[in-house]
Amino acid sequence: MLTPAELSRYGRQLVLPEVGLAGQERLRAASVLIVGAGGLGSPVALYLAAAGIGTLGIIDDDAVEISNLHRQILHGTKDVGRDKTESASESLRRLNPNVNVRTHQERLTTSRAGALFREYDLVVDGSDNYQTRYAVNDACARLGKTWVYGSVERFSGQVSVFGAPGGPCYRCVFPEPPSPGSTASCEEIGVLGAVPGVVGSLQAVEALKCLLRAGEPLVGRLLQLDLKMGELRIVHFERRADCPTCADARRDDVTSDHTATPALAVDVEPSELAGCLADHDTIQLLDIREPWEWSVARIGEPLHLQMGELERNVGSLDPGRDVIVYCHHGARSSVAAEWLRARGFRARNLAGGIDRWSREIDPSVPRY
């Protein structure tokens, strides 16, 4: 039963017919994993904690930077340099000490997702890269778990719910990640700080609707927001019968053309790269940053191809060597590595990019 303190804390939502005592107890018994403690993960985590979710998991491998603070409201100026999971946990416990916060200071990978997702009822994706998003989708499809999707750029964003029973998965709408250079990251094109707040809040609403079995979650519907013009629209879509990821006949064998070498981990840790950096016969470094970034700092003796140049210059890569792709923080390079794997290369992404390399391996590499 709810305690008197909980009855008082959640009183404004307890009076909703869709919640009530039974619904609030359902929320207290629920467990939700939030992927990413950044711009989207911040409002999601805060509102789910405030709503009384019993267990919140936060997975992120990054540290708080000053450039995060205009949109990542879980963190404050004093948190710069701390692990995001640690900062997030402190903020959430301060907001609602009744919530059990579990932290996973690591990057979500395809190999890790399945085991981790089994521990939670629902997944909310607040990541900012395609590699993680497809890993979330494929693991949820394999396990039959629902997940809430959100993405933002500049003044716009979108939200949907994937993996619901009988509903479509992310690959039903976006079968493959875009080719390198065809989309830009938040780091490159920017985002108004309040936009992730709006989209993340909508993700929290969708998560609560799914857990409460209330209303109509955005299953088979993509909500698109243009906050600069104050417009929104709904795009309807259906589950594709030929989708290799969510088709029932292949539920236990989630593979696709974009997964080239399943035995090869998609990320390489900086420490692992440091141990084999001198072996030029087996490893080829690929730097896909902009020319000005290249002039500031680099790792070893890499091949330099900007994202937009990769497709027409892919022949300059040696298919006989492992390709380690890096950028500033790992977002752009994860897309490039994904694209290369789809074309038969043994490509891996440097987790955390050159920034993490500088912090953990070689401080002589300038940070910018």
pLDDT tens string 92-107: 999 999 999 999 999 9
pLDDT more than 90, % of the chain:
61
Q: What is the mean pLDDT of residues 62-83?
A: 94
The answer to whether 308 and 339 have CB atoms below 8 angstroms apart is: no
Catalytic residues: 186, 327
Is 260 inside any structural domain? no
Number of domains in the chain: 2
Is 258 inside any structural domain? no
Is residue 40 located within the same domain as residue 139? yes
Is residue 48 located within the same domain as residue 154? yes
Is residue 231 located within the same domain as residue 273? no
**What CATH number does residue 333 fall under?**
3.40.250.10
Is residue 23 located within the same domain as residue 74? yes
Residue where a domain terminates, one of 208, 225, 250: 250
**Residue 134 tokens, joined:** 């497809």
Is residue 155 located within the same domain as residue 303? no
Is residue 244 located within the same domain as residue 272? no
pLDDT band at 182 (very low <50, low <70, confident <90, very high): low
Is residue 110 located within the same domain as residue 196? yes
Residue bearing the bigger pLDDT, 275 or 46: 46
Is residue 209 located within the same domain as residue 344? no
Average pLDDT, the chain: 88
Domain span holding position 336: 267-360
Q: What is the mean pLDDT of residues 3-25?
A: 92
Is residue 116 located within the same domain as residue 39? yes
Query: What pLDDT shows up at residue 334?
Result: 78
Helix then strand then coil, in percent of the chain rounded to 5, is 40, 20, 45
Three-class secondary structure of residue 283 per DSSP: strand
Nearest to 186, CA basis, from 39, 66, 333: 39
The pTM for the full model equals 0.71
pLDDT band at 255 (very low <50, low <70, confident <90, very high): very low
Residue bearing the bigger pLDDT, 130 or 124: 124
Is 280 inside any structural domain? yes
Is 58 inside any structural domain? yes
pLDDT > 60? residue 57: yes
Which residue matches tokens 């009855």?
Answer: 7
Q: Which DSSP symbol is given to 169?
A: -
Is 326 inside any structural domain? yes
Task: Say which range, 1-5, 29-33, 83-87, 338-342, has the weakest mean pLDDT.
Answer: 338-342
Is residue 246 located within the same domain as residue 271? no
